[in-house]
Amino acid sequence: MRRGMTLIELVVVLTILAVLTSFVVARLIPLVDWITTDGAARRVTTALAVTRNAAILRGTRARLRIGADSLRIDREGAAGWEPFARWAGPASAGVSLTVTNPEVVFGPLGIAWGLSNTKIVVSRGSQIETITTSRLGRVRRS
């Protein structure tokens, strides 16, 4: 009775495992890109909602500064803009960011200041999320 495996049997098993692993990894990369991009888009939409609510609840202006490295919320106070909240930006997760207006300001009624909508695009690999904020404070993801 023979115990163990020959070297050829071991090489064949390792080759089969390597091929199967390469197929699994190739299928998981788009999933990881989607999860990461979705998380970055959620952070941006959450920051927009928090900024709008901060303006409404305090009855003053609040602004969100959107950068690749950080999402910064400030509220207007007696001495000017005062820090309110900070989050890591999309770049911390390897997600790229394109924004038409890097500063969104909401007034006390929750209406955004400015002439046009703000369009924010976060992407990684083949996954792209677009966030559009209207002047009325509505946020739409597509």
Give the CATH number of the domain where residue 74 resides.
Answer: 3.55.40.10
What is the per-residue pLDDT for 1? 62
Mean pLDDT by runs of 10 across the 142 residues of the chain is 79 92 86 93 94 93 95 94 94 93 92 84 94 87 88
Range of the domain at 51: 7-141
Taking the alpha carbons at both ends of the chain, their separation in whole angstroms is: 64
Which DSSP letter does residue 113 get? P
How many domains does the chain fold into?
A: 1
